[in-house]
Structure 1
């Protein structure tokens, strides 16, 4: 059986777990929590970058990061489910990259506050990352994907978009992205209704301890 190394708060790991459900692969992959802050965790020997998610194949090979793992799961499921063929594929890849980039910027902002003492924090750096997030959200608000009615309507781009918005709910609850993005908010509601795994992989948007190791990607 394959093994997915991840942690519940990780939006990158979450999209793999949802993909497993959508593609009918849950019975073929065991999920094992990883502590990226622990030098003794075997994750660092499985992925030299020490990042999650990492997928350990049955032959011992390891795949990372989430975009590569999604491609592999789509391949296992017969192909063409999360990544369409032809020219349409490139729009999906672009949307996945943009949503991943927003998540990465969000995580860097959380790192800045979580792992630096106040006197060492850089407001300009935080604003720089925040501007990336704002531009990305504005793009998706103006180019909101088609409303999904079932899991068959989901691709790698929309899956990543949903997990990105879910991450903002968890880590930026006081700065509600929905206020300025009503189309995206409505789209996410439709996504959650169409994809039950989105609800089952959700964690509460409650504050976490400053030393929460699960935050590290």
Structure 2
């Protein structure tokens, strides 16, 4: 059986990841490709519990940056071993709402953890596993946060100071530069243009890999 593909959608708050995933889903259906969806942190019962720990703004004690980093990778490890890899082996494609690039940007850029520290944790938990294709939805932090605020209550990370998100954005741009497995989409455009760009990228990928 032909192994499935892992497609990840990345981006900051308000970038439009959910609607981008819908576009990808529709294209996979057109090609009659069986797929599943995942999200990070989360995606399995245990990983969802870890997500609640990371996202909740109502802890009785301060969640340290080190704990946040380790919880992200603990959740990712659970998801990878228990959902992503088995699905790919069954020949299913997997659409991921965030993956390792998020930790590199948020914990590496935002929290300013050294790249070598994050890489060491990734080596243990991911064992070299990487997505087949990543779509990075690029958006100015101010615009993205204004969209996120319009949606309603912000989680713990979304409540960070603006400087945090500037660092996250800068790190994303650094990471995607020169990586041929990552396609950048200007998410500040109209939704129609964003979706058309996504459809073009995914359509081309499907023609080459379906």
What range is the shorter-chain TM-score in? 0.3 to 0.5
TM-score (norm 2): 0.35
TM-score (norm 1): 0.34
**Which structure: greater strand fraction?**
2
